[in-house]
Copies of this chain bind each other. A is one copy, B any other.
């Protein structure tokens, strides 16, 4: 497969134009209307208030809490634990929950979610990745700026950015508790990063980003050009965002924890091949190797 989005190969960062559209379907294909699709094409994201009910939020939060205390889950390599100090330990992410857990399997296959993903991607879709995220209060960690697609391309072999993430909020997102930040419009540019991918990079990069980190001068220019949108909203709402959005989140010292369900849909016409810039593909729980349509 031709590498349309080379990264981690050159000594200098470069910025390429994205050649594919963001939205592949049309208003006739599903829940988004024409204005909603146009906004998504332009900004790279869409906010969907009240995607799920308060009851569903409560059920998913209870399930997340139960999982975070299950010794088997804690011992699983698909569970990422955040430790600020001996006293401050929290489960940050549990991956592949659409396969291991009935509650999260259901939401990952729910038409409210999948129909929107199919509409945007203009084809059948499959789950490239799923996880539940928990950002604790008082010591929630930040995530520095990155494009998910850059990692999925380099390390999972995703050919083009024909993939979209759905983040369903299980808590209220305020400006002050470390919400998602997106540089609107940045998804139309691809930042080719410097540095090679080390072996088993994911073990390190799930905790702190190394390879795949955009150059700071590029980020400064992007921030001036695109600005930064802070994505606030109530529990039960969702954000869908293009795989190539430049995004980040600050830490959280407030008492208000944040949690969400995170689902990544890829087009079956964009199924992953061999990694473009890594010795071997990441494990299945980070980037699915089974591309069967939902």
Contacts and interface: CB of A to CB of B under 8 A. Distances in A.
A145 to B, nearest CB: 7
A219 B255 contact: yes
B228 A174 contact: yes
Contacts of A176: 175, 181, 228, 230, 250
A202 to B, nearest CB: 21
Contacts of A142: 251, 253
Interface string A209-229: 000000010011001000010
Interface residues of A, number: 26
B250 A253 contact: yes
Interface string A238-255: 000000000011111111
Interface of A: 137-138, 142-145, 174-176, 178, 181, 216, 219-220, 223, 228, 230, 248-256
9 contacts: A137-B220, A145-B253, A175-B175, A175-B176, A176-B181, A176-B250, A219-B255, A223-B254, A251-B251
